[in-house]
Structure 1
Amino acid sequence: MVRNPLTPEERERGERLGQLLREARGGRSMVEVAATAGISAETLRKIETGRAPTPAFFTVAALARALGLSMDDIDHRTLRPVRKLPVAVP
Structure 2
Amino acid sequence: MVRPPLSEDEKLRGELLGEALRAARGERSMVEVAAAAGISVETLRKIERGRVPTPAFFTVAAIAGAIGVPLEDLIRRSRPHRLTA
User: When the two structures are superposed, what TM-score results if normalisation uses the length of structure 2?
Assistant: 0.91
The alignment's C-alpha RMSD in Å is 1.5
Structure 2: how far apart are the matches of 1:35 and 1:12?
A: 27
Structure 2 equivalent of residue 42 of structure 1: 42
1:18 maps to amino acid: G
Structure 1 equivalent of residue 11 of structure 2: 11
User: When the two structures are superposed, what TM-score results if normalisation uses the length of structure 1?
Assistant: 0.86
Q: Which runs of 4+ in 1 moved over 6 A?
A: none
CA-to-aligned-CA distance 1:32-69 (integer Å, 9 cap, x gap): 10010001100001001111010000001001100100
Structure 1: how far apart are the matches of 2:43 and 2:79?
A: 20
Structure 1: gaps (5+ residues): 86-90
In terms of fraction of residues, the more helix-rich structure is: 2
Structure 2 equivalent of residue 88 of structure 1: none
Structure 2: gaps (5+ residues): none
